[in-house]
Amino acid sequence: VVLEDLIEINTGNTQYDNEFATWNAFYTVINNCNLVLARAAAVMQEDPSYTEGDYLSDCSPMLALRSLCYFYLVRAYRDVPYTTVAFMNSSQNVDIPQSAPETVLRACVADLEQAEKNAISPLAFADWRRVGYFTRDGIQALLADIYLWLGSVNHSSTDYTKAVEYCDK
């Protein structure tokens, strides 16, 4: 089965039953990010030591990680289901229509621009955390990559210019 799935991938077949072409892991990460984004604000009401600054700096990597997942999905599959809704129980309708790549990536750009405002500095930590967090530099690198990809697909000088701007940051 593994060899058959690899042969199918090699021929361009990315059907749902191919174990190397599943969306499950990406959408699990996306939903976990959506859960944090949906529930983190309520923590401030319960825990006075959890400040708005903590909240904003926690939301930033969630927006970035969700955008990274969507970027990978769009590059691999083109049209993908896009949602920012957190699925908290099995009774919720999980049938989400597919969205065009440009729509998904423009939403990701908006999220990343918001995330950049509150992202932690890459110099914030000197220990293991310096490589374990989605920092401002990582968000800017992801924005540059998305703009570069959009520019190559749309042949847009505006997108190329934005890619260069984020690379310069």
Say which residues have a Cβ less than 8 Å from residue 135's Cβ, sequence separation at least 6.
119, 120, 121, 122, 124
Which token pair is 21? 């072409």
The model's pTM is 0.87
Which token pair is 75? 């590059």
d(CA 111, CA 24): 22
Question: DSSP 3-state assignment of 89?
Answer: coil
Q: What is the CA angle 164-159-31, rounded to 5?
A: 100
H helix count then E strand count, the chain:
6, 2
The residues facing 98 across adjacent strands are 81
pLDDT in tens, the chain (169 residues): 778 878 877 777 667 677 776 778 899 999 999 999 999 999 988 999 999 999 999 999 999 999 999 999 999 889 999 999 999 887 888 788 999 999 999 999 999 999 999 999 988 888 887 777 899 999 999 999 999 999 999 999 999 999 999 999 9
Q: What is the tens place of the pLDDT at every residue in 50-89? A: 999 999 999 999 999 999 999 999 998 899 999 999 998 8
